């Protein structure tokens, strides 16, 4: 029995790692869970029909799942910035897409017949782990709704960002106003994203993208090789573009109220 349990544990650990590689969180089922589909949790004799070791395994699984879920929930899109990196907005979009897909994967696991049967059993047993399961489920549902809402609202940015990334720097300026317009629309229409912290992350990433593009455009080697007039022209293009971005940002901020409907 111990060997079987140990083998099951190793198999679960391996499966969790394999799913992590895919960016997904697997909630490993406890040993004995294969019988849960056939357990009638409403039966008065359910306590007699379930092995105590299975109940212990289920409660242990709830502890592990809660930890796994908390790890996912604590992830923030601001982490690369806080770690001193210089992410572009693409990182923000990928974060929310990945978060949405992972939480959807977790939610689907919690909705399976086996897991629901386990939850009903814990409830029937008045287990102290049942409230923990309910809290975990509630957190997943709330986080999934938030991630889905943000992911959907960020999708329109994709086109504008790709256009910006593929443009030569002298062509960047006319693309900034539409980009900031979409950012304002996201702020106005996505309640889950309407927090200074989250918008600050996105704006910092947009600034990083502009700095990155300006750096490529103002390659030190090219500047040194070029004629003075050409180098000055390039510097002026960068200065004008960044000043324009700042002006547009100020303008959008001052007119942010126009993006809201009267009853919003």
Burial (Cβ within 10 Å: 0-12, 13-18, ≥19) of residue 169:
middle
- Considering the chain, what is the average pLDDT of its residues? 88
pLDDT at 147: 97
Identify whether 54 is part of a domain.
yes
35 located within any domain: yes
* 68 within a domain of the structure (yes/no): yes
Between CA 236 and CA 241 the distance in angstroms is 8
Domain that holds residue 255: 2-259
Q: What is the pLDDT of residues 164-211, one digit of tens each?
A: 999 999 999 999 999 999 999 999 999 999 999 999 999 999 999 999
pTM, two decimal places:
0.88
Query: Which phi-psi region, left, alpha or beta, contains residue 23 (left: φ > 0; alpha: ψ -120 to 50)?
Result: left
Structural domains counted in the chain: 1
What is the number of other CB atoms lying within 10 angstroms of the CB of residue 176? 21
From the CB of residue 88, how many other CB atoms can be counted at a distance below 10 Å? 21
pLDDT at position 34, please?
Answer: 66
Per-residue pLDDT for 35 more than 70?
A: no
Contacts of 238 (CB under 8 A, 6+ apart): 169, 214, 217, 218
- Within a domain: 264: no
Is 37's pLDDT higher than 70? no
Q: Which long-range contacts (CB under 8 A, 24 or more apart) does 233-238 make?
A: 237/169, 237/170, 238/169, 238/214
Long-range CB pairs of 42-49 (<8 Å, 24+ gap) are 42/120, 42/124, 46/121, 46/124, 47/124, 47/125
Crossing angle for the helix pair 196-217 and 89-110, to the nearest 10 degrees: 140
> Using one digit for the tens of pLDDT, what is the confidence trace for 48-107?
567 787 888 899 999 999 999 999 999 999 999 999 999 999 999 999 999 999 999 999
Query: What percent of the chain is predicted at pLDDT more than 70?
Result: 88
> Which of 6-10, 43-47, 125-129, 244-248 is predicted most confidently?
244-248
3-state secondary structure 27-89: CCCCCCHHHHHHCCCCCCCHHHHCCHHHHHHHHHHHHHHHHHHHHHHHCCCCHHHHCCCCCCH
Q: If you ran DSSP here, which 8-state letter would residue 125 be given? A: T
pLDDT band at 163 (very low <50, low <70, confident <90, very high): very high
């Amino acid at each position: 029995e111990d060997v079987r349990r140990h083998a099951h544990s190793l198999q679960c650990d391996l499966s969790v790692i394999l799913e992590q590689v895919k960016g997904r969180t697997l909630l490993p089922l406890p040993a004995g869970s294969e019988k849960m589909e056939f357990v009638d949790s409403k039966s008065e004799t359910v306590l007699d029909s379930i092995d105590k070791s299975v109940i212990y395994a289920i409660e242990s699984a709830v502890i592990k799942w809660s930890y796994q879920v908390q790890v996912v929930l604590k992830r923030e899109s601001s982490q690369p910035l806080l770690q001193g990196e210089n992410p572009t907005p693409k990182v923000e979009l990928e974060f929310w897409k990945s978060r949405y897909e992972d939480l959807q994967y977790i939610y689907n696991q919690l909705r399976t017949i086996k897991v629901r049967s386990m939850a009903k059993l814990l409830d029937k047993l008045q287990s102290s782990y049942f409230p923990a399961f309910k809290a975990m489920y509630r957190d997943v549902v709330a986080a999934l709704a938030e991630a889905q809402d943000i992911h959907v609202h960020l999708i329109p940015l994709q086109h504008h960002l790709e256009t910006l990334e593929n443009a030569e720097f002298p062509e960047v300026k006319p693309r900034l106003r539409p980009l900031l317009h979409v950012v304002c629309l996201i702020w106005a229409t996505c309640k889950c994203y309407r927090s200074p912290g989250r918008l600050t992350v996105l704006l910092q990433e947009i600034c990083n993208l502009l700095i990155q593009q300006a750096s490529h455009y103002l390659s030190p080697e090219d500047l040194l090789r070029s004629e003075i007039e050409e180098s000055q022209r390039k510097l002026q293009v960068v200065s004008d573009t960044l000043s324009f971005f700042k002006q547009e940002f100020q303008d959008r901020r001052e007119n942010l109220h126009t993006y809201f409907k009267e009853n919003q």
